[in-house]
Amino acid sequence: MEKLRPARDKWRDIIFCSVVVFVVIADQVTKALIRASLLPGEVFVDFGFFQIDHIQNTGASFGILKGYSLLIIVIAIIGVLVIMYLALFMRNRIAFLRNNWVIVSMAMVTAGTIGNNLIDRIRQGHVTDFLDFKIWPAFNVADMCTVVGAIIIAYRLIFYSGLFKSKDD
């Protein structure tokens, strides 16, 4: 029975790393297509409630911390290192981290952070956003993955971790 655990751990590592690589590639390819096709501020298609356009975001999510790229990069590096440490080295000590949904979600958050806050900011000094619902700040693939990953982690924490169960349960 002990031989199954290392094989399962190896698969979790492969899943984690594969999701990170896939999301970073998808994010960077979509942004490269936007940068190659549109000038900053130009709109590709407008459906009234949704448009695809080229926005250069120098701040963090929702435009906060504009002009603080170095701070955002440092926070992103720390965040990526913490998540990778938890996902790859602490999962056998914390039962919550052994769940495949949590591993995939942590990979999505890691990839989003790498795609937006590290690659783009270091290479260009800003993040390329292009999905714009007009009532919400524009975003990109990395943003979507970060938010969806965080929502899944929160959901799993609330409903499956046992952290929020009452003593009467």
Residue in 74, 75, 88 with CA at minimum distance from that of residue 19: 88
Contact between 150 and 109 (Cβ < 8 Å): yes
- β-sheet with 43-46: strand ranges across: 43-46, 51-57, 127-132
Residue 136: left if φ>0, alpha if ψ -120 to 50, beta else—which one?
beta
DSSP 3-state assignment of 44?
A: strand
What residues act catalytically?
129, 143
DSSP 3-state assignment of 78?
A: helix
**Alpha-carbon torsion (151, 155, 158, 162), positive or negative:** negative
